[in-house]
Structure 1
Amino acid sequence: MPAIPLPFVLALLLLILLLQNLQRSGFRPTASTVFIGGCTLLTAVVGLRWTIDMPALRMLQPVVASLLPPFAWLSFTGLARQPFRHAWHHAAGPVLVLILSATWTRWHPPLDLVLAGLFFGYGAALLRQAAAGTDRLVDARLSDAPTARRAVLFAGLVLVGSGCVDLAVAVDFDLFGGQHAASIVSLANMLTLPVIAYAIMVIGRSQPGHETGDDAAARSDFPADESNGNVPPQAITSPSTADDADGQQAADAAILDRVDRAMQERQLYRDPDLTLTRLARRIGIPARQISAAVNRIHGRNVSQVVNEYRIAEAMRLLRETDRPVTTVMFDCGFQTKSNFNREFARVAGMTPSDYRRSGS
């Protein structure tokens, strides 16, 4: 019985992951589905190169590889939801690689160095995004923001590692005439593509699937850029333009007062799909102002503060009702038990079950 090459097995697994992601998005194309599709195509191309080494496949492989860093960036940052004119420059790298790959037999340009630069550049950008904190992930559910941040961090590290692989290929061509290049690239793809595809899926799961009626109403009231939550503020002086420290403190207090009223009166924390973008639209304050005010006054990020409202409600329900812990978790806006237990332990210093047994 003939053996199926490993790249084709991996391509099949990635195809299954792609179909699952498409089903979750209602079979609407998203940056994450396009990215996983690119991983599937690249893996299949690698498999074909192992079996039939055609010139067209040698030219296609670096071009497909060059598409992965920008698509990873678009998937993790939400830029793909902007009009094309705001993201067209991300096509510059793949176009350059296409030109170099098509003309490689004529003058042998430093194709691997260009690929390494793409992977290093986008990997460093994702690492910077992760280092900026969860508030930069304005389209991730606030309950899932820490998980999404770890996925961004891991994806950045994987892209940087892929850049090191491309450098290794360049060195192999210089020292050994490229004898080991195919093996290096193939092994690297086998190790990194499934990992980064899974990280993309984690990000996809942390993003709300559909816009709610409240969001649509907020959008009509506060037209803004979806990706960063820039909503025209209502009667609140921007902290960045305050005349002095007292003015800035007053502006921050006004912002947090509006956040608190939205949480207490409208119980926005109960929305499991609440993101920083949605919060900004619903209270009419730019996401960056909310994040800065929360950080300056509380010394924490927005997801932590919102989750504290959720945990306070969970503690009340655990004390005053006999609802199961899982029901309490959903009632308070959490969707996963791991996030609920982590945040509950951070706030209360014990698990939800221990809290109920303690009778606090």
Structure 2
Amino acid sequence: MLLIPLSFLLSLLCFGLLLRMEWPTKGRWVLQLLLIVCVWQSALIGMRFGYQMAWVGKLQPIGAVLIPLLCYFAYMQCVIGSLGKIASHTFVLSVLVLFAQHVIPVILDWIIIVSYLGYGFAVLRSFRLYNKNNQLVTTKESGTSHPLWFGAAILLIMSGVIESLIVMDFALMSGVHVGKLITFGNVTIFILVVLMSPISWRQSSTEAGHEMQLSSASPHDVALYENWFNQINQRLLHEHLYLDADLNLALLARKVGLPARKISQAINQQTGMNVSQFINKMRIQYAAQRLVHSESTVTEVMLDAGFNTKSNFNREFRRVYGVNPSEWRQNHSSTSC
């Protein structure tokens, strides 16, 4: 009877998720690349431990460190809207793996472990800070993706822990429990991925349906959205509401006199952004002008613009202008001179 390793089923599941997404998707290419690497890596694991093809072990390390790295930056791209320093992270990790593989093999496993644990906790930390700093995003806009990325972070941390146990088992017990640990890890990860898959599929279907709904809106609906948007924009600018650090969707709805759902729909239809992204863009544009035309410190400008944390301010500034606030001030100060 032909044995089909569980890793092959994981590979097929990831491939199925990939097929559910349009290729290529501009705002999700890192996630799509992550799924491709997962298909590759799961197939290699199945070949190595399911059919004792030891030679594929040389191909595993690069994929092993790319998975947590790509997972972190897929989260950054899909949720935060910024890729940050993905190229430098990829280069450094790849060089470290190749160096360890050929020069100091003993540290290779620990590089992989640190990658899984480090990026896993980084996703959890960024996830928590993003939820704290983005009170303007409605549950409908972001809620479906929350379990998906939280589950992904747990998967990374779990993989790092299992990899640590495997390394210790080899060191202390000559690897007698490796088979059980790999099986336990594969079963647990498979169950979590299966539980997360409907969330991913539902999210893709919801987004596709939402885009279709907006693209097929009647002229009357478009005019209605435009009227709501003008009403929202006028109130935000006239009363400088966007500079209020405590502004949330409920408060904005009360000030404008529209239900929160209509505010989200109008902003999304007119700008392609959610409420939080739209408000933060207005704040960043205000901050950019202050940085050039005032002598206030970056921290003072950040607080005046409605941001509470430097990390969120820097991230949003880079998302809008591609540079951090200090670089923006330096570039435009030298230009004005």
TM-score (norm 2): 0.59
Indicate conservation of the 8 Å contact 2:119/2:156, yes or no.
Answer: yes
The aligned length equals 261
2:99 paired with 1:110? no
Q: Per-residue deviation at 1:53?
A: 2.2
Q: Secondary structure at the match of 2:106?
A: coil
Structure 1 residue aligned with 2:8: 8
Structure 1 residue aligned with 2:283: 286
Distance 1:173 1:137, change over 3 A: farther
Q: Per-residue deviation at 1:44?
A: 0.4
Q: Per-residue deviation at 1:262?
A: 8.6
Structure 2 residue aligned with 1:170: 167
Distance 1:161 1:66, change over 3 A: same
Aligned CA RMSD, in angstroms, stands at 4.7
Distance 1:27 1:292, change over 3 A: closer
Whole-Å Cα distance in 1 between the matches of residues 127 and 82 of structure 2? 24
Q: Per-residue deviation at 1:196?
A: 4.7
Q: Secondary structure at the match of 1:72?
A: helix
2:103 paired with 1:143? no
Structure 1 residue aligned with 2:19: 19
Whole-Å Cα distance in 1 between the matches of residues 152 and 260 of structure 2? 39
Structure 2 residue aligned with 1:353: none
Letter in 1 for 2:99: I
Indicate conservation of the 8 Å contact 2:267/2:275, yes or no.
Answer: no
Correspondence for 2:182 among 185, 192, 196: 185
Whole-Å Cα distance in 1 between the matches of residues 151 and 261 of structure 2? 36
Correspondence for 1:152 among 149, 153, 163: 149
Structure 2 residue aligned with 1:327: none
Whole-Å Cα distance in 2 between the matches of residues 16 and 39 of structure 1? 12
Structure 2 residue aligned with 1:66: 65
Q: Per-residue deviation at 1:252?
A: 5.5
Indicate conservation of the 8 Å contact 1:21/1:201, yes or no.
Answer: no
Indicate conservation of the 8 Å contact 2:264/2:274, yes or no.
Answer: no
| Bigger mean CA offset, 115-124 vs 199-208 | 199-208
Give % identity. 19
Structure 2 residue aligned with 1:96: 96
Whole-Å Cα distance in 2 between the matches of residues 264 and 174 of structure 1? 61
Structure 2 residue aligned with 1:268: 263
Indicate conservation of the 8 Å contact 1:256/1:293, yes or no.
Answer: no
Letter in 2 for 1:32: L
Structure 2 residue aligned with 1:335: none
Whole-Å Cα distance in 2 between the matches of residues 59 and 43 of structure 1? 14
**Whose helix proportion is higher, 1 or 2?**
2
Distance 1:9 1:166, change over 3 A: closer
Q: Secondary structure at the match of 1:4?
A: coil
Indicate conservation of the 8 Å contact 1:124/1:156, yes or no.
Answer: yes
Q: Per-residue deviation at 1:10?
A: 3.1
2:41 paired with 1:45? no
| Bigger mean CA offset, 273-282 vs 88-97 | 273-282
Structure 1 residue aligned with 2:312: none
- Runs of 5+ consecutive residues of structure 1 not aligned to the other structure: 219-232, 240-247, 295-360
Distance 1:172 1:88, change over 3 A: same
- Runs of 5+ consecutive residues of structure 2 not aligned to the other structure: 216-221, 227-235, 285-301, 309-337
Q: Per-residue deviation at 1:117?
A: 0.9
Distance 1:34 1:280, change over 3 A: same
Whole-Å Cα distance in 1 between the matches of residues 40 and 262 of structure 2? 45
Distance 1:161 1:170, change over 3 A: same
Letter in 1 for 2:54: M
Letter in 1 for 2:16: I
Whole-Å Cα distance in 1 between the matches of residues 95 and 194 of structure 2? 23
Distance 1:81 1:293, change over 3 A: closer
Letter in 2 for 1:129: S
Distance 1:196 1:98, change over 3 A: farther
Structure 1 residue aligned with 2:116: 119
| Bigger mean CA offset, 59-68 vs 107-116 | 107-116
Distance 1:201 1:144, change over 3 A: farther
Q: Per-residue deviation at 1:118?
A: 1.0
2:82 paired with 1:87? no
Correspondence for 2:126 among 121, 125, 129: 129
Distance 1:238 1:263, change over 3 A: closer
Q: Secondary structure at the match of 2:143?
A: helix
Whole-Å Cα distance in 2 between the matches of residues 145 and 265 of structure 1? 14
Letter in 2 for 1:46: I
Q: Secondary structure at the match of 1:3?
A: coil
Q: Per-residue deviation at 1:74?
A: 1.6
Whole-Å Cα distance in 2 between the matches of residues 79 and 19 of structure 1? 18
Deviation string, structure 1 residues 14-40 (Cα, Å, up to 9, x no partner): 3222211346x7699622222222221
